[in-house]
Amino acid sequence: MKRPIRTLLQAPSVGLLFLWMIVPLAMTIYFSFIRYNLLNPDVHGFAGFQNYQFLWEDPAFVPALINTLALIGSVLIVTIVLGTLLAVLYERRFFGRNVATLLVIAPFFVMPTVSALVWKNMILHPVYGLLAHAFFAVGLTPIDWFGRFPMVSVIMILSWEWLPFAFLILYTSIKSLDREQREAALIDGAKPVQMFFHITLPHLKRAIGVVIMIETIFLLSVFAEIYTTTSGGPGTATTNLAYLVYSQGLQQFDIGIASAGGILAVVMANVVAFFLVRILARSLKGNT
Amino acid sequence: MKKCLILLTVLVTSICAFAAQTVTIAAVNNPAMIELKRLSPKFEAQNPDIKLNWVIVEENILRQRVTTDVSTGSGQFDLVFLGLYETPIFAKRGWLKEIKDIPASYDVEDVFKSLRDGLSYDGKLYALPFYGESSMLMYRKDLFAAKGLTMPEQPTYEDIKKFAAALTDKSAGIYGITLRGKPGWGENMAFIGTLVNTFGGSWFNMKWQPQIDTPEWTAAITYYVDLMKNYGPPGATANGFNENLTLFASGKAAMWIDATVAAGSISDPKESQVAGKVGFANAPIAKTPKGSHWLWSWAFAIPAKAKSADAAQKFALWATSKDYIQMAAADTGWATVPPGTRKSTYENADYQKASPFAAVSLKSLQTADPTDPCAKPVPYHGIQLVGIPEFQSFGTVVGQNIAGALAGNESVAQALKMSQAAAARAARQGGYQK
Amino acid sequence: MSDGSVKIKNLVKTYANEHGHPAFTAVKGIDLEIKDGEFMVLVGPSGCGKTTTLRMIAGLESITSGTIEIGGKVVNDVEPKDRGIAMVFQNYALYPHMTVFENMAFGLKLAKKSKDDIRDAVTRAAKALDLDQLLHRKPQTLSGGQRQRVALGRAIVRNPKVFLFDEPLSNLDAKMRVQMRTEISRLHAVLRTTMIYVTHDQVEAMTMGDRICVMRAGVIMQVADPLTLYRQPQNVFVAGFIGSPPMNLLNGVVKRSGCGLEFVDETGAFIVPLPSRLEKFAEPFVGRKIIFGARPEHLSPTPTSDVGTQKPLTMTIELAEPLGSETILYLKSGARQIVARHIGEQHCQPGQTVALHLNMEKVHLFDAETGNVINA
Amino acid sequence: MESSRSRSWLFGIIGWLVAIVLFFPIFWVAITAFKTEQAAYSPSLIFSPTLESFHEVFARSNYVGFALNSIYIALGSTLLCFIIAIPAAYRMAFFPSAKTQSTLLWMLSTKMMPAVGVLLPIYLLFKSAGLLDSVWGLIGIYTLINLPIAIWMSYTYFREVPSAILEAARVDGAGIMSQIWHVLTPMALPGISSTALLLIILSWNEAFWSINLTSSHAAPLTVFIASYSSPEGLFWAKLSAASLLAVAPIMVMGWLTQKQLVSGLTFGAVK
C-alpha cells in the first residue's frame, strides 16, 4: 500500500535505522582493507586482503571458528534442554513456586563480567573455589576446571547466565498452552512422557525458535566471559572469533585486522542466520 | 574610579585563578593507587584551583582505554597511568608531553636511573614513576628450616628444582613452588621472558628474526613445564600475580618468583598468614645473569592533548615526590609505601626495618637493565617484553601456547613452533624485517 | 442530508508480486452505481473481489485505475476518514484496550469534537442499540452479538454518508445472525443511509439488499433487486449462486426432434422437448452445447402448467430432507442428480421411485460457452 | 490422589533444589559482601557480618552517580529504541514487502558482529562527534545495538494485532501516529513492556561499550564494577559488595516486574 504520507512519516525512522547500521559497517569494511595500526602510524596505505589473510593464516583461526560454533551449540542445547525441563517442572504447583521462580531467573540480571569473576574465583577455583572445598571435604582431588576442562567451564558459566532467559521464555510459552488441548490428550490416554513429546514440545517450537535466535546473537560475540576467565586459553582451547579479533587486532591496536575480523564475523553471522532461517522459518515469520 | 577598576581587575583575575581546573586521571585499581586517591584531598586542599577527577579501572581495561584515548588524541584524560612498556612507544609518536621544569625539591636524581631511562625517549623524560618493581624469589624460611635446607644468596634454577622437590607435600596442600601460568604478555610471559633470558635465549635476533624455536627456549620452557607439573599447584594456567599472591600468602606454596612489590603484601600480617616467615633472594639464574629479573614501572604521563597539562604535572610531581612517600608511610606504615622508585626510600631506616626485602629489591631494581637484556645483542628494549606495539598481541599468543603446554594440551615443541610462527607473522605485519 | 450516492467507474485493482510486477488482478474494471439511501449487497464466492471493492470504497486499498465517487466527488486520493464513510468489520475490530464508550467515541475524539457532543452522540447510539448498560465494559467481556452492536454503534456515531459492512455476521451463531440481520435492516429503515454490504451468504444478500451485485473473479455478473435476480438470472453463475438449494443445471445439447426442438443432456438419459416460448431463443443453438436450468421447486409430482408436461420424469429418491414446511428431495436419474423441493409434508423413502413434472414455463437456458442466458 | 500429592511434594523438592543451586552463586556473592577481606576466602557460612566493604565502596566511588547514569542510559536508550523501532515494526508487520524477512534477518545478523571488531570506527565517530563520555553517546550506541531486537520483537507482537483494528482506526480518522500511539502500542503493550524490560537488562549489563566510551561523567555501573574487578580476582569482599550494589537495582526491578515479563512474553513471540 503506497501512500505518500505514510512513506514520508516513516522515512526518518527507517532511514536513520539503516544509516545507523550501515555507517559503522561501511567504516569497518573500509578499515579492513587498509593498513592501520594506532600505535604504528608508520605503516599505512591500502592493504588489499592482507588483513584478512593475516587472520586466515592465524593457526588459531580454524580452532576459533570451531570453538565459536561449539560454544553456541552447547550452550543452546544445555539451556534449551534444561530450560524445557525446568519449565515443565515449574508449571506444576508446589510450595513457594513464585519465590523459587525469582531465584531461578536471578542469574539473568547479573553482569557478565561479574558472573565470570564469581564463577572463576569463588566457585571453580581449584584451591579456594566452593567446588574445590566440596571435593576436599569428600576426600577427592579438586578439579582444575579452567586448565583441564576450559571449554566445559566456559559453557557452564554461559549456560548459567542464559538458562534463566530460556526458562523464562519457555515457561511463559508452556503457560499459554491451551488447557483444553491438554485435557483432550489426557482423555485420549496420553501418558506424561507422550504428552510432553506430542503436545508440549510441538507447542514450544516457536518459543525455542526465539531462544535460539536471541541466544545465538549474544553467544556469537561472547567476549567478557572468556576474557575474564581463560583469556582464550589454555592454548586456543577457548578462543572464539570475538576473542581472536580482540587478541589479534584490538590488543595490538591494529584496526585493519580488527575490522577484518569484524567483517568475517558478520559473514559468519549471516551464514549462521541463513541456517537458522531454514530451521526457524516458521517462528521467525511469526505464523502459528 | 580608577581604584575601583583595579580592584575589579584583581577580583576577576583572582576568580579566574580560582576557577577550578579539573584533572581527569586514568588510574589502575591497585592498592597503592587507592591509597593515593585516599590521600589526594590533601593535594586539593593545597591547590584549591585544581579538582581531581578519578577514573579507576582494572589494568587491562585501563591499558585499552588509555591507548585509544591517547593515540586518537581524544583528550579525555589529563593524566594517565602508563607502564614502562607503553611510555617510550607513545613518546616516540609524540603523544605525550615531556616532563619539563621539574623543581629541584623533587630531586629527580633520587629516582632510579633504570626507571628514568625506561620512561624516556630520545633522552627526554615522559613519565614520572609512581612505583617500580623488579622480580625476586620469595621463600618460606620455616619450611626450609624444617627440611634443613638453606637458600643461597644467588640461587640457580637447578637449586630451585631440588628445593621444590623436597618441599612439595601435596597431601598437606603445600606445593614446592608457584609461578605465573595465566596467559598474557604481562602475566606468564613476564616471568617466562626472564627465564628465557637467563637460559641464554632472546625474542629476536638483530635481524628481527624470531628465536623461539632455538634450543635455549626449548630448555627454558621444558624446565618450566616440568617444574610446574611436578611441584606446582593445580590450575596453574589460571594463576597470575594476584592468584599466586593469595596462594603464597595463605601458605600453600613454599617458593614464589615474582614482582618485588609482592613482598610488601606478604609481609603484612593483616593480609598474609605467612608474614615474618618469608625469606627473599635474587631471582634465580641459569646460564647468564643477564635479564634474569625484570623491570616494570607504573608511571604518570601527560597526554599531548591534555586540557589541564600544568595542573596534571603538578599533581604527578606531588604523587611521586618524597613527601608523598612520607605521607603514605605516616598513613599506613612504611611496609606499604609505593616502592621501587627512589633511592631515598631504601635508605630510610624505617623502611629498611619494616621491609626485610628492601636490600634484595634494591639490588634487583638497580641491576635490571632493559637496554641490554639478553646474552646476545637484540634490536629491542625491555627485559620481560619487546618494546614494540605488536608485542602485546604475539606475547599473549605465545603465553597462550605455553599455557597450553603447561595444561598438557600440547607438547612443548608444538607450543614453541606455533609461537615462532606467531612472532614471525607479527614481525612481518609490523614491517620490522627489512 | 448529504448525498450518499456511490459511483464506481471502471475500477481495477491489481496486486503486485514479490518483485513489484503486477501479478494478480482482483477487480477487473467494474462499474456500479449505488443510489443515495440504497442498501446494496455485494455477494459472491470468496476471491470474487467483493471485499477488495469495498475496501477500495473505504480507502483502505489503493485504486489501480478507475474512479470512485462518493456524493458526486471523486475520492480516489481522499483519506478514509474524509470520505464520509463508516465501516463494520468481519471480526468487529474493536479496540480491546478501550471500553465500549471509548470505542464508540474514538473517532469523534480524533475529530476533536467537544466532550459534550461526544457524550450525546455515543449515548444516543448506545440507546438505539441497547448498549447503554454496557458502556463501561471492555470488549472481551461482551458476547459476539454485543460486540457486533458496538461495532455498529461505532459506525453510527460517525454519522456517515455511507455505511460499509464487511461480512459482519459471519462470526455469529445462526440465531444471532438472524437477529442481527433484522437489526441492520431496521437500522437502514430508520437511517435511510446508503449501505454497502459484503457477504458470501446469498440468504443474507436476498433478505437484506435493496439491490444485489453478484460478483465473480473480479467481474460483476449481475446487478438487480433480489427477485429479479432470482427469476431472471443473467448467466449460469448467478443462476447457480442465488437460491437454496441451488438451481439444477444440466449440460447438454439442443437437438431437432420432429417439428420442435428438444434438450438432450450429456448422459442422454434426460430428454425434454423445449416449449415454443423457448424455441426461438434456442433455434441458433441447435447442435451446440447449452446448459439447462430448473429450480428445485419447479419439479413437482403434479403438473403445474400445461406446457412441457408431456412426459413426467421418473427418478429414484436418494435422500429426502423433510424440513416441515417443505421437503428437499435428492433424486437420481441414471448418472444425473437432481434436486427437487416439495411444499408441504410428504413421506418419501429413499429408493422410492417418483414421477416428476417439470414446469417448462420457468426453466432457463444458458449458452454453455459464454454462460449467458439465452431465453431473454 | 495420594500419589499425586506425594508427587507434588517431590516436584516441590526438586524445584526448590534447582532454584537454590542456580541462585547459589548470587547468594554467595551476597554473603561474601558482608565478610571481611580475609574471611572472604574461607567457605564458611558462619562469620560475623560487617559493613566494612560497603563503607569502603561508598567512600571510594560515587555509587549514586554511577547508578544514576546506568538508569538514564538504560531507560533513555530503551525509550529511543522504541521510538525508532515501533514505526519500522509497524511497517514491517502491516505492510510487509518481499524484502521484509531478509531485512529483519540482516538486522539481526549485524547484531552478531563482535563489538571488539568495531570499537575503533565507533570510537573515532564518537570522538569527532564529541560524544565520548556523554550519556547521549551511550544512549545512542545502545539504541543501535538493541534496535534489531526491539524491531524483531515488536514485529512479532504486532503481527498478533489484527490489521482490521488498525483499518477501523483509519476509518475512524486516525493518522499513522494516532494508530500507533492510540491503538497499536496499547494493544501490544504487554509485549512491548516485556521487550523493554529485556532491553533495559541488556543495556544495564553491557560492559564493553560503556567502559570504552565513557570515563567519568557518563560512566554507568559497569565502569564502577571495573574499578573493583580484575581478571585476577583480588579483593573478593569489596568486589562482592560492589557487585551486589551494581546488580541489586536491576534485579529488584526484574523481580517486581516478573509477572509483567511473563504475561508479555506469552502474548507475543512465544505464544
Contact A220 D114 (CB under 8 A): yes
Number of other residues whose CB lies within 10 A of the CB of residue A283? 21
Q: How does B306-330 read in b/e, with b if 16+ C-beta sit within 10 Å?
A: bebbebbbbbbbbbbbbebbbbbbe
> How many Å lie between the alpha carbon of A214 and the closest alpha carbon of chain D?
8
pLDDT of residue B21: 85
Cell of A98: 513464585
Q: Is residue C159 within 8 angstroms of chain D, CB to CB?
A: no
Residue C81 at interface with chain A, using a CB cutoff of 8 Å: no
Question: What value does the mean pLDDT take over residues D166-172?
Answer: 86
Cβ distance A2 to C62 less than 8 Å, yes or no, reads: yes
The answer to whether D181 faces chain B, any CB pair under 8 Å, is no
Shortest alpha-carbon distance between residue A258 and chain D (Å):
5
pLDDT given at position C327 = 84
Q: What is the DSSP letter of D112?
A: T
- Length of chain C measured in residues: 376
**pLDDT < 50 regions, chain B:** 1, 10-17
Q: Of D29-43, D88-102, D131-145, where does the model show the most confidence? A: D131-145
- Chain B CB contacts of A144 under 8 Å are 234-238
Q: Determine what percent of chain D is predicted with pLDDT higher than 70.
A: 88
A3 CB near a chain C CB, below 8 Å? yes
Is ipTM > 0.85 here? Answer: no
Phi, psi angles (nearest 5°) of residue B133? -150, 155
Contacts of C110 in chain D (CB under 8 A): 172-174, 178, 182
- Average confidence (pLDDT) per 10 residues, chain A, 288 residues: 52 66 81 82 79 82 89 93 90 81 87 85 79 81 80 92 89 73 71 77 80 84 82 78 81 82 82 72 47
Contact A130, D28 (CB under 8 A): yes
pLDDT for B200: 92
Inter-chain touch C158–D172, beta carbons under 8 Å:
yes
Nearest-angstrom CA–CA distance, D69 and A247: 30
pLDDT tens per residue, range C221-272: 999 999 999 988 999 999 989 888 889 888 888 888 777 788 888 877 778 8
pLDDT of D161 above 90:
no
Cell of C252: 447438454
Strand order in the sheet with C260-265: C271-273, C260-265, C248-257, C289-294, C364-367
Quick one: which H or E segment has residue A57?
helix A50-57
Q: Are A250 and B64 in contact (CB under 8 A)?
A: yes
Reported as a single tens digit per residue, the pLDDT across B66-114 is 888 888 888 889 999 998 988 988 998 889 999 888 888 888 889 888 8
Contacts of C344 (CB under 8 A, 6+ apart): C325, C326, C327
Cross-chain Cβ contact A253/B421 below 8 Å: no
Nearest to B409 among A141, A237, A250 (CB): A237
Question: Rg of chain B's alpha carbons, rounded to an integer?
Answer: 23
Note whether C93 and C167 are within 8 A (CB).
no
Query: Quick check: C94 and D165 CB within 8 A?
Result: yes
Query: Which class for C66: exposed (0-12), middle (13-18), buried (19 or more C-beta within 10 A)?
Result: middle
Average pLDDT value for residue range C338-359: 78
Q: How far is CA D13 from the centre of its chain?
A: 31
**Integer Cα distance of B112 and B367 in angstroms:** 10
- Exposed, middle or buried: residue D156 (CB in 10 Å: 0-12, 13-18, 19+)? buried
The better pLDDT of the pair D229, C316 is held by C316
pLDDT at residue C20 greater than cutoff 80: no
Is the CB of residue B163 less than 8 Å from the CB of residue B255?
yes
**Grid coordinates representing B72?**
586518537
pTM: 0.79
Phi-psi region for residue D123, left (φ > 0), alpha (ψ -120 to 50) or beta? alpha
Per-residue pLDDT tens digits for C87-114: 898 888 888 888 899 989 888 888 888 8
At residue B167, the pLDDT reads: 92
Q: Is the pLDDT of residue D255 over 60?
A: yes
DSSP string computed for B366-387: HH--TTS-SSS--SS--SSS-S
Q: Which amino acid is at C374?
A: I
- Predicted pLDDT at A9: 54
* pLDDT tier, D4 (very low <50, low <70, confident <90, very high otherwise): low
Name chain D contacts of C107, Cβ cutoff 8 Å: 171-173
Contacts of B39 (CB under 8 A, 6+ apart): B324, B327, B328, B331
The answer, for D247 touching chain A at a CB cutoff of 8 Å, is: yes
The grid coordinates of residue C43 equal 455477494
Mutate to test the interface with A, among D116, D122, D152 (most CBs of A within 10 A): D116
Judge contact between B295 and B385, C-beta under 8 A: no
Where does the pLDDT of residue D195 fall: very low under 50, low under 70, confident under 90, or very high at 90 and above?
A: confident
Work out the minimum CA distance from D216 to partner chain A, whole angstroms: 20
φ/ψ (deg, to 5) at C294: -145, 130
Say how far apart CA B325 and CA B329 lie, in whole Å: 6
pLDDT attached to residue D36? 78
Residue D148's region, left for phi above 0, alpha for psi from -120 to 50, else beta, is: alpha
pLDDT of residue A180: 65
Residue B15 pLDDT: 46
Grade residue C163 by pLDDT with cuts at 50, 70 and 90.
very high
Chains D and A: 3 or more CB pairs within 8 Å of each other: yes
Full set of structural domains in chain C with CATH: 6-241 (3.40.50.300), 248-367 (2.40.50.140)
At residue D269, the pLDDT reads 39
Please tell me the predicted confidence (pLDDT) of residue A113: 83
Length of chain A as a residue count? 288
Shortest CA distance from A56: residue in chain B: B425
Task: Using only the alpha carbons of chain D, give its radius of gyration.
Answer: 23
User: Greater confidence, C171 or C29?
Assistant: C29
Residues with Cβ within 8 Å of residue A147, at least 6 apart in sequence: A126, A234, B234, B235, B236, B237, B238, B406, B407
By C-alpha distance, which of A78, A80, A75, A71 is closest to A205? A80
Helix (H, G, I), strand (E, B) or coil at D158: helix
CA–CA separation, B369 vs B375, rounded Å? 12
The three cell numbers locating residue B275: 608474614
Query: How would DSSP label each residue in B43-112?
Result: HHHH-TTEEEEEEEE-HHHHHHHHHHHHHTT----SEEEEETTHHHHHHHTT-B-------GGG-GGGB-
Q: Say if the Cβ atoms of D215 and B65 lie within 8 Å.
A: yes
Cell of B428: 612481518
User: Count of CB contacts below 8 A, A vs D?
Assistant: 290
B-chain residues near A229 (CB < 8 A): 238
B55/D229 CB distance under 8 A: no
Residue A170's alpha-carbon distances to A98, A165, A180, B337, in angstroms, are 16, 9, 19, 56
Q: How far apart, in whole angstroms, are the C-alpha atoms of residue B431 and residue B428?
A: 5
User: Would you tell me which residues 177-216 of chain D have a C-beta closer than 8 angstroms to some C-beta of chain C?
Assistant: 178, 182-183, 186-187, 189
- Among B24, B29, B243, beta carbon nearest to D215: B24
